[in-house]
Amino acid sequence: MDRIVGIETEYGCLLREEEPHLSSEAWPARVKNYLFRKAQAGTIDLHYRDYEEPPGNGGFLCNGGRLYLDMGHIEYASPECLHLRDLVTYDLAGDDLLHSSLVALGAAGQVSFIKNNVDHHTGATFGCHENYLMKREAQFTPPVLGTLLTFLATRQIFTGAGRVGQANPLAFDFEPPAQEGQVNFQLSQRADHIVNDIYQWVQFNRAIINARDEPLADYRKYRRLHLLIGDSNMSPFATALKIGTTACVLALLEDARLPRNLVLADAVQSTRDISRDPTQRWIVDLENGKTIGALDVQWQFYDLAQKHLRGNSAETDWLLESWSFVLEALEENPESLIGGVDWITKKWLLDVLIDAEDLGWDDPWLQSVDLEYHN
């Protein structure tokens, strides 16, 4: 890659047996206090960082990341990374840090931190936010933003973590939603919870791109692109693809080399339609009235990246090879991606269970397996 990137991950908390003196809301605070006060894994904040981040709410870790509480959830932010392998490593380090804390507290058998994005019981969603440093002079005109949104809406065909069922009705609908049929399985956990294409708030009117311009660097030279659409991946390969392909597209954007006439009619609706398409054809409507498949969209971005970015680094070349391998496999042999692409892996596990136990897709056992995949 040629830019600084980072990931923020919110974790759900699951208790096997509710303790009378400790709830799932209490464990994030207990683990945070253990890490900073006993394990000395970092330096806790002694001052207000924001009106929602009082002293003691979190702090910087010795590995350069941050850990803090966000609306009752524990959140881990990776350090800023220049290399894809470093980002994937630090993302996994967050998982290991939380698990090792539970082991040290003697609670690993009773408490789990779940790296997923949906609560099947409450309908809540947890975020996996991506951050990319970009050149200030990069042109974010409506056609450029529209093309970037097209990439982000369609990349879920290899970055989605998969989920059982649906979130319905959508939050912030101004009219009662139309009656929908049952959705058995989706590619993306976040698709149902994205209700806008670009917006400045994170928690309300959740958008594909968060418009808040906070570069955390020289404002005259840089901007920070903050994405809310991504799923939390269990597969390191999927994490690498998610971040790496997006970094490639941003490099094309900065050099004014994005594909033309590839703006979706409705990026939010297309995100949802792709996620819910049981045929896996993933056809979407373009602004110009034409239709196109998500795979064809991704091939167009890949072809430009291959033309303009190959040879930049060994890491870029590996990423381009992996990108084309996944797109070819999705067309010809999706099962070859079991273990590499999360939604395919999860769907295979669920299909095996359904066949073995003669279950229907509405069986709550499937939601439990969905959740356990992220443990």
Catalytic residue list: 70
What is the rounded CA–CA span in Å between residue 5 and residue 133? 6
Residues 6+ apart with CB under 8 A from 132: 3, 4, 5, 224, 225, 227, 246, 247, 250
CB 151 within 8 A of CB 296: no
What's the 3-state SS for 170-222?
Answer: CCCCCCCCCCCCCCCEECCCCHHHCCEEEECCCCCCCEEEECCCCCCCCCCCE
- Give the whole-angstrom CA distance, residue 91 versus residue 76: 9
Both tokens of residue 97? 């840090």
State the amino acid at position 78 in one-letter form: S
If we measure between CA atoms, which residue out of 38, 82, 47, 46 comes closest to residue 64?
Answer: 82
Q: What count of residues does the chain have?
A: 375
Token representation of residue 313: 């680094």
- 341 Cβ contact list (under 8 Å, min separation 6): 158, 160, 235, 237, 238, 326
SS3 letters for 67-114? EEEECCEEEEECCCECCHHHHHHHHHHHHHHHHHHHHHCCCCCCEEEE
The secondary element (H helix, E strand) that includes residue 225 is strand 222-227
Q: With contact defined as beta carbons under 8 Å apart, do 167 and 123 qualify? A: yes
Residue of 202, 205, 197, 196 lying closest to 50 (CA atoms): 202
SS3 245: helix
